[in-house]
Amino acid sequence: MAMDKIIHHLKKSRHILIASHVNPDGDAVGSLIAMGLALTSVGKHTTLYNESKIPTVYRFLPSVDRIVSNLETLSPTSSPTLVPDVFYRGKSDGLVRDGTWKSEPGNSELAYDTAVILDCGDLERIGELRLETRNSKPCPRHLSSGIEAQNLVPDIFHRGSKLGSSFQFPVPTLINIDHHITNTRFGDLHLIDPSACATAEIVYRLIKKMGIPIDKAMATSIYTAILTDTGSFRFSNTNKAAFEICDKMVALGVDPYYVAKNVYGKYSLGRIKLLNLALDSIEISPNGRLSMMTVTQDMLDETATQHEDVDGLINYARRIEDVKVAVLIQECRNGKRGQGSELRAQRSAPEVGREKREFHVSLRSDGSADVAEIAARHGGGGHYTAAGFNIESSMSDLKSGMLRLAKELGN
């Protein structure tokens, strides 16, 4: 069983890198912290990684300061001379060896045995950090501990590196834990359950099965993840486990009012003003089935808000009577491109100059339309009722394209 294999592997691991998606939501932050605290409590050396700044509303979470956004300054493996030539470089006909493993005493202490990727439908969701995967053939699993790594055939390694950097480190095994229906099944070991209300539900099951006692800090992280990913038990992913787990977390000392105050009760004035602008931007398709909200960079600048303040705004567009699908078009900050944008940039290179910009499009449905499928058409993904994708386009082309979707939604 997948979970047993993962537990077996985690128990053998010594230094575990745990990461979740860019622009993290409550599930990405809460799952990351819960997993990190649990593995730390059983003596594992853990590194918690998220590329983005953790949103203000989640900064109350215990151990949130343990999350780093830069591995280069943290890991001794950041020096490329320490683990020099161990990696393979991709070739179209497969992978060719790019050097030899130079084992030096102590090196195994510096490397990650394992990376656990949480709440990411595909590996690019972790951002600029590249954990390259090889799906060509099954990897030998017996070579996973640090000491044994000295005898490794290098081709079982994933290479961790950062775009535009010589920084790299070995990551022999990737574990993929997620609840997105569009998960690409990247990595070596998978725990993917689209019926889970949140990745934190799966993390909870894993921690329980490992026999790790859940303390109040872990409980607060799990509770917050489930509370926010279910929209406070309102979204379609709300299941029995959401209530059962949260009930247990409260029994372990979580204070629901304290969490709610931090997550929902502390909005900056700028965020409220942004809400005003966003509500004002709402357009409805002629048949009334699709609503569209736009958030431009100018709106963020005008209200001194950031990406994190856009979180949840789309729900206003979704709850409008008769609307089946709500679309939120968000302009990305200049130069800050989202996942997969490189490919799209290449594809549209001849069209540069027609004011194409990078946008993130969020989609929500009332349960009668599959927005994961719509997002997948554009290279994105998500859940049946909540999904998204990045696209390079002009605002007007994008808006008319999205409005055309309304016709698929009936009259």
For tokens 């690019």, name the residue.
124
Spatial contact of 144 and 111, defined as CB atoms under 8 Å apart: no
Measured between alpha carbons, how far is residue 186 from residues 115, 117, 158, 215, 297 in Å?
A: 12, 10, 12, 31, 33
Measured between alpha carbons, how far is residue 303 from residues 276, 298, 336 in Å?
A: 10, 9, 19
Instruction: Please state the closest distance from residue 29 (CB atom) to Mn ion, in A.
Output: 10
CA 51 to chain centre: 10
Residue nearest to Mn ion (CB): 27
Instruction: Please state the closest distance from residue 40 (CB atom) to Mn ion, in A.
Output: 22
Instruction: Please state the closest distance from residue 266 (CB atom) to Mn ion, in A.
Output: 22
Instruction: Please state the closest distance from residue 229 (CB atom) to Mn ion, in A.
Output: 5
CB nearer Mn ion, residue 125 or residue 271:
125
CB nearer Mn ion, residue 52 or residue 199:
199
CB nearer Mn ion, residue 67 or residue 111:
67
CB nearer Mn ion, residue 30 or residue 340:
30
CB nearer Mn ion, residue 199 or residue 339:
199
Closest CA to 327 of 287, 286, 364: 364
Residue 392 backbone phi and psi in degrees, to 5? -105, 125
Adjacency order of strands within the sheet including 173-178:
67-68, 45-49, 15-20, 114-118, 173-178, 189-192
Task: Quote the tokens at residue 221.
Answer: 């992280």
**Residues lying near Mn ion in the complex (CB under 5 A):** 27, 119, 198-199, 229
Instruction: Please state the closest distance from residue 175 (CB atom) to Mn ion, in A.
Output: 16
CB nearer Mn ion, residue 183 or residue 220:
183
Instruction: Please state the closest distance from residue 71 (CB atom) to Mn ion, in A.
Output: 23
Spatial contact of 29 and 54, defined as CB atoms under 8 Å apart: yes
